[in-house]
Chain A
């Protein structure tokens, strides 16, 4: 298959066919997690002007999109904090807001577009504090319930 792919000039249609069968094969063999990641990647690619979580640069102001998979409310820290973990199929990232009294639409399965200065979190994942954000519909399937 690889050799055919490398000969597009000779067999232009063939490469289209092999690519098709490849994606076919993938769709039949991938695990639900892989399918979910792929789903997320395609979803994220429909959002304009964002960088992939895997490509996020620390200490720079960036715009990132992902789907919320975990929300943590901690009322102990001062006036309370809300943390949302979001994923885009390439990685996961944390957004943290301080001093909020309501979720205001932030919920599981929701698409989140944030813009802010990225910091390095305590774990490997990047974190962004009090970012500006917009909520958009998530891809639904395979991320959260209906």
Chain B
């Protein structure tokens, strides 16, 4: 699928509402129930408090929405809790918010899926023993949909969300009407008889019930993240949608709580139906509409889980731009990266469901800490934002946000106090671990940045003759012929070839009598023999000359399966990255582009050399020197700007460093570098015979293997995807950070 489809198109309010509010609206399905569960524990007499407590929760929700309207105005480019707190409160607060959000997304999936399963079980009580299995199946379903890359059209969101709103509206109307002449009473299947006063009703219980009810606030943040997806005027439309969402959410929640009270719904552990199910059953007498409500509830809850699958990669991508996560997460367009995120998210969500026995009440205990932590940080960040910018009307906005921050901060304290032992401690323990991990990644990137900027590097001699080429004549085929033509065209100082198999010698003689061939013998793996041979050549060369291993490769077909079928070449190229003083130039050719009539080892008349750069540092400078030795027809540096600030910095550093080559910085609208690069090289019309495009990739190598995963991921993607591009060769030029101090003594 084209990665462009990942992006939402601009949404009218009526579509944006279901897209962004399924999470917030779906909490109506369980918020009242959580309050009743707490109150029920102290006796039936306490249950009537559900209405005033719901009012308090509803008021809180209204205030938070008013507060978030300010965020939406101030951050038209999307102001999630991470962005707002990182920008205004600094790294630590940003990381705290990010950790809270990451945990939050996992819990959104667990909680929503569990609640959705409960709705199903309410409609079909026979399924009760299979709750965990059903929940896991739902997660697997949503994960697979996302892995396959479902095209999320507006209708996909609109049907379940509007269906849910409509079914609840019908339920409330029917309920209210039936209450005109005295409410029908709930059956309360499985709840048994509840004593009137088991325990005294204390303020702590009231607070605990209130904290439980605040689950109604989950999901409010989604719109503040999604402002850029709205139609113009974006902020205004987003703010309006936020208000509409709040109004609907509060009305539904209060209506459900009121009916629960009037119908005397009791909910305890062991109740057969959810509170919403019980109300629906009472109001509709168990008819068709009862089932409709259950199905709609399950659907919106699964949809709510799905939004976490969309938000998770977005947050990791922002974190990667800020270097708190491995850089590969930045490239959201890459299926592989995207898939990893989905797998991680579903794994943890599933794990939580299994560990907590698909018990909604216990899962929600964990949920709220992260939710209110991000609310509080985000609004506190907004307070600093208003003080800093002093935009028109800032005092009013500051007041609203400050009040909101205090309010959600207080609720956070209440949530922690009432739910700590119930499971909230897990989140409180996991948060610093996540923060530490992200901090370590950040520290590592900073260290590498420092290393790459080391000014002591001595430039390599730029004269073309200082290039030495070794061709790996694994076989003698079309790719080998192309490699020979390429080698001749760059006129290297020395050119030689080697093979592991004596059988190729005669074919080689015929094809390239001008390039001497050595047969490398001995025992050991292919990789070991190649490396040993390269080292022996390297030892004879001056330090300031390049040594390029040319690897010709005929691929049987296109696609990644081809790489898995013949892994030895890929492994060889990968392992040579860590070999100091060796550059690898890959000359691939896909079987179907081989032209049997063409001159086999034709020298390309035009060699367009493109260096992919991301910053001006030692690795880039070395790659430029390397590119200069290739006798390019045209030499330029290319950068795909994933971040506007980094792009500007790169441009300015390029000018300041007085690099005598043009630099082009190209927008990659969907953050999909492979596609953008493919479009870019198309202008040179490479055909592999007389027109070749050489992509030079500056890479850097760190000594610790486990750190290597944090680097060169873009290079990896480019290498993988460019293998199948006709007429494109890829040279990878590694810079060894441990060798940052020059080895040369001259």
Residues on A close to B: CB < 8 A? 23-24, 27-28, 30-33, 35-36, 38-39, 42-43, 46, 68-76, 80, 82, 100-103, 105-110, 140-146
Contact = CB atoms under 8 A, between A and B. Distances in A.
Nearest to A72: B664
B154 interface: yes
Contact of B669 (A28, A71, A143): A143
Given A32-B7, A76-B660, A108 B641 contact: yes
Contacts of A38: 10
Contacts of A105: 648
Main secondary structure of the interface of B (DSSP, over half): mixed
Contact of A43 (B78, B229, B232): B232
A30 B10 CA distance: 10
A99 B725 CA distance: 38
A146 B78 contact: yes
Q: Which 7 A-B pairs have the closest CB atoms?
A: A141-B228, A35-B9, A32-B4, A107-B648, A108-B641, A69-B667, A74-B662
A10 B602 CA distance: 74
B530 interface: no
Given A27-B15, A28-B154, 8 more contacts: A35-B10, A74-B662, A106-B651, A107-B644, A107-B645, A108-B641, A108-B667, A144-B644
Contacts of A76: 660-662
B652 A102 contact: yes
Interface string B445-481: 0000000000000000000000000000000000000
A34 B76 CA distance: 21
A100 B654 CA distance: 12
B399 to A, nearest CB: 26
B666 A46 contact: no
A143 B228 CA distance: 11
B660 A75 contact: yes
A17 B643 CA distance: 41
Contacts of B641: 107-109, 144-145
A32 B670 contact: yes
Given A23-B12, A27-B10, A103-B651, A144 B659 contact: no
Contacts of B648: 103, 105-107
Given A144-B641, A145-B643, A109 B4 contact: no
Contacts of B231: 42
A71 B636 CA distance: 13
B248 interface: no
B565 interface: no
23 contacts: A24-B15, A27-B11, A27-B12, A27-B15, A28-B9, A32-B5, A32-B669, A35-B10, A68-B667, A69-B667, A70-B667, A72-B663, A73-B651, A73-B654, A75-B661, A82-B651, A107-B647, A140-B76, A142-B228, A145-B642, A145-B643, A145-B668, A146-B321
A71 B647 contact: yes
A143 B154 contact: no
Interface string B154-188: 11000000000000000000000000000000000
What class of interface size applies to chain B in its complex with A? Answer: 35 or more
Nearest to A45: B232
Contacts of A42: 231-232
A75 to B, nearest CB: 6
Given A30-B9, A71-B647, A109-B641, A140 B153 contact: no
Given A32-B4, A32-B670, A102-B655, A70 B665 contact: yes
A26 to B, nearest CB: 9
B662 A75 contact: yes
Contacts of B4: 31-33
A32 B9 contact: yes
A145 B655 contact: no
B644 A109 contact: yes
A36 B648 CA distance: 23
B153 A108 contact: no
B77 interface: yes
Contacts, number: 131
Interface string B1-38: 01011010111101100000000000000000000000
Contacts of B665: 70-73, 108
A15 B654 CA distance: 56
B77 A73 contact: no
Nearest to B659: A75
B204 to A, nearest CB: 43
Interface string B300-335: 000000000000000000100100000000000000
A99 B642 CA distance: 27
A141 B654 CA distance: 27
B31 to A, nearest CB: 32
Contacts of B644: 107-110, 144-145
B658 interface: yes
Nearest to A107: B648
Interface string B119-161: 0000000000000000000000000000000000111000000
Q: Which of A30, A102, A145 has the most CB of B within 10 A?
A: A145
A24 B12 contact: yes
A33 B4 CA distance: 8
A35 B119 CA distance: 38
Contacts of A28: 9, 15, 153-155
Contacts of A146: 77-78, 318, 321, 643
B321 A73 contact: no
Nearest to A103: B651
B411 to A, nearest CB: 30
Contacts of B318: 146
A76 B654 CA distance: 12
Could you say which of B14, B76, B228, B668 has the most chain A C-beta atoms within 10 Å of its C-beta?
B228
Given A30-B9, A76-B660, A142 B669 contact: yes
B664 A71 contact: yes
Interface string B527-564: 00000000000000000000000000000000000000
B281 interface: no
Contacts of A46: 232
B671 A145 contact: yes
Contacts of B645: 107
A40 B31 CA distance: 42
B78 A36 contact: no
A140 B667 contact: no
B86 to A, nearest CB: 12
Given A32-B5, A73-B655, A110-B644, A140 B10 contact: no
Contacts of B232: 42-43, 46
A113 B644 CA distance: 17
A43 B10 CA distance: 12
Q: Max chain A CB contacts within 10 Å: which of B78, B232, B654?
A: B232
Contacts of B660: 75-76
A76 B662 CA distance: 7
A24 B9 CA distance: 11
B321 to A, nearest CB: 7
B109 to A, nearest CB: 24
A85 to B, nearest CB: 9
Contact of A145 (B321, B658, B662): B321
A107 to B, nearest CB: 4
A28 B158 CA distance: 12
A36 B669 contact: yes
A80 B654 CA distance: 11
A11 B154 CA distance: 28
A41 to B, nearest CB: 10
